Amino acid sequence: MASKRPLAITMGDAAGIGPEIIARHFMREKPSDLVVVGDLAQMQRAIRMIGADCPVEAASRPEPGPAGTMTVLPVGSLPADLPYGQVDARAGRLAYDAILEAIRLARSGEVAGIVTAPIHKEALHAAGVPFPGHTEILAHETGTRDFGMMLADEHLRVILVSIHVSLAEALRRVTPEAERRTFRLAHQACRALGIDKPRIAVAGLNPHAGEGGLFGREEIEIIAPAIAEARNEGLDIHGPFPPDTIFMQARRGAYDIVVAQYHDQGLIAVKLNGIEKGVNVTVGLPIIRTSVDHGTAFDIAGKGIADAASLSEAIAVARRMVAARENG
């Protein structure tokens, strides 16, 4: 990592697997460029649960300790015996407070970026948090209007026109403005990863991309004209393509990123290959943020069997983005 500033990892919901996967990453990688934002006691509990030989120290500033030592910036405290696998407003509140603190550190330049462990939407709601997830919190706190969610693994990158809305609402959000905004964000996302000339593919909304209007006219009236405008702006962008084949073509290397029209259209394509290497990147923010590609896994929380692969990949992607940004 080129930056001398650390990355901040938010602990996530303590009733889930967030603390455990962070502990596993520290145990395996012994990093010297990470600080954890959350609860000291919960991180100590996670270290004990997996039997890791990893010192855990509280700090008031984001300054990592020696390699293999976990530095925790406390934002509150939870009961030492907080139940695993249950929705708890206290855990939701602390997870939210950790996100806010990490955003503050990133905006002030004290950390190079943020990596987030999973949160639970019901716990957030129980705590009175008026946001459905990380993406919306980050956009609100940074005053970002044009933002998007990119999911990626080692072979495929997908960015979404709409995120956490119903399918009916997602269809209404297929507008020229939304398409053009997402195309620009797709280009920006690839550039942030060090891809100089991104090749962008656009999935259609309807089966067979509308089949010339037989199965819907959104491709003809909305998506294709927006692609033409983006191409005139200099983007290397193509489509709309039939959604049932374009993700396969991109996975084989034909394109650097695919624009999906709604949440499940894009995320099923990424997660079908497994979530172990998946990474969630919020695009358009003034700060760097990556995350795991899975939830809190309440069903296995506290059992000591959670896989940290997605977290490790999210950290690697964040480091790559920091290097690309700092190297111009």
pLDDT band, very low/low/confident/very high, at 309 (cuts 50, 70, 90): very high
- Same domain, yes or no, for 138 and 7? yes
> Are the beta carbons of 42 and 19 closer than 8 angstroms?
yes
Q: Which of 232, 249, 273 is the last residue of a domain?
A: 273
- Same domain, yes or no, for 139 and 216? no
- Same domain, yes or no, for 110 and 160? no
Residue-wise pLDDT for 192-230, tens only, equals: 998 999 999 999 999 999 999 999 999 999 999 999 999
The strand ranges marked E within 75-123 are 113-116
pLDDT at 179 over 50: yes
Number of domains in the chain: 2
Q: What is the pLDDT of residue 1?
A: 43
Q: How many Å separate Cα 213 from the centre of its chain?
A: 35
- Same domain, yes or no, for 298 and 158? no
State which residues form the domain around 192: 154-273
Residue-wise pLDDT for 55-93, tens only, equals: 999 999 999 888 889 999 999 999 999 999 999 999 999
> Are the beta carbons of 325 and 192 closer than 8 angstroms?
yes
pLDDT at 282 over 50: yes
pLDDT at 239 over 70: yes
Backbone angles phi, psi at 52, to 5 degrees: -85, 145
What are the beta bridge partners of residue 8?
35, 114
- Same domain, yes or no, for 72 and 128? yes
- Short-list 163, 242, 162, 164, CA closest to 202: 242
Mean pLDDT of 179-188: 97
Q: What is the pLDDT of residue 3?
A: 65
CA distance 32 to 41: 21
* CATH number of the domain residue 261 falls in: 3.40.718.10
- Same domain, yes or no, for 100 and 160? no
**pTM for this model (two decimals):** 0.89
